């Protein structure tokens, strides 16, 4: 059994996460119950580490790119999401670090229902698919999930997952 300190989550700010994702990534993405599609993801961390912009190209729900703009906001993180089709959406999240995984948690609306929304980034080894603990992760699993607050279930429902594997320079 692991000591309690190693499994607890601590609230952190965006500057601890932002530089870890900075760069270009490739991998597959799929919504729950659908076939995976290849995507490219570009992540840009601002020099002050208070802004992180993720652009996911060739998304699985439409042919447009999606933009996820995370920015430091009063001790939390404000996310603005756009896919070029619908109206931009904003959500406030708290960011937590547990081990080497980062999790954004926020209360909002999903499918016109109140929900707790979770965006988790788990580092993976490219050869073993096991968590790794260095600062230069070459692979992440980004899971987007939600728990509907009007549901008695204690489970999160997976909405989509995106694999992020660093693009090696030529």
| Cα separation values, 92 from 22, 70, 79, Å | 21, 9, 6
3 falls within a domain: no
In this prediction, residue 32 carries a pLDDT of 83
Q: What is the CATH number of the domain that holds 89?
A: 2.40.128.20
Tell me the pTM. Answer: 0.85
51 falls within a domain: yes
62 falls within a domain: yes
In this prediction, residue 86 carries a pLDDT of 84
115 falls within a domain: yes
What is the C-alpha separation between 18 and 61, in angstroms, rounded? 26
Q: Which domain holds residue 127?
A: 8-166
Total tally of structural domains belonging to the chain: 1
pLDDT in tens, 64-92: 789 999 999 999 999 999 988 889 999 99
- Reply yes or no on whether the pLDDT at 45 is more than 70: yes
Segment 134-152 shows an average pLDDT of 83
What is the C-alpha separation between 29 and 127, in angstroms, rounded? 19
């Amino acid at each position: 059994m692991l000591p309690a300190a190693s499994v607890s989550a601590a609230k952190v700010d965006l500057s601890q996460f932002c530089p870890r994702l900075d760069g270009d990534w490739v991998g597959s993405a799929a919504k729950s119950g659908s076939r995976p599609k290849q995507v490219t993801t570009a992540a840009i961390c601002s020099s002050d580490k208070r802004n992180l912009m993720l652009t996911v190209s060739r998304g699985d729900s439409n042919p447009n790119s999606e933009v996820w703009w995370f920015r430091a906001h009063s001790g939390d993180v404000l996310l603005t999401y756009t896919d070029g089709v619908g109206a931009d959406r904003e959500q406030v999240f708290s960011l937590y670090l547990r081990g080497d995984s980062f999790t954004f948690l926020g209360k909002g609306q999903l499918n016109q229902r109140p929900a707790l929304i979770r965006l988790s980034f788990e580092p993976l080894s490219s050869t073993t698919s096991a968590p790794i603990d260095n600062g230069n992760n070459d692979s992440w699993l980004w899971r987007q999930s939600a728990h509907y607050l009007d549901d008695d279930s204690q489970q999160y429902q997976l909405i989509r997952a995106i694999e992020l594997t660093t693009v090696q320079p030529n």
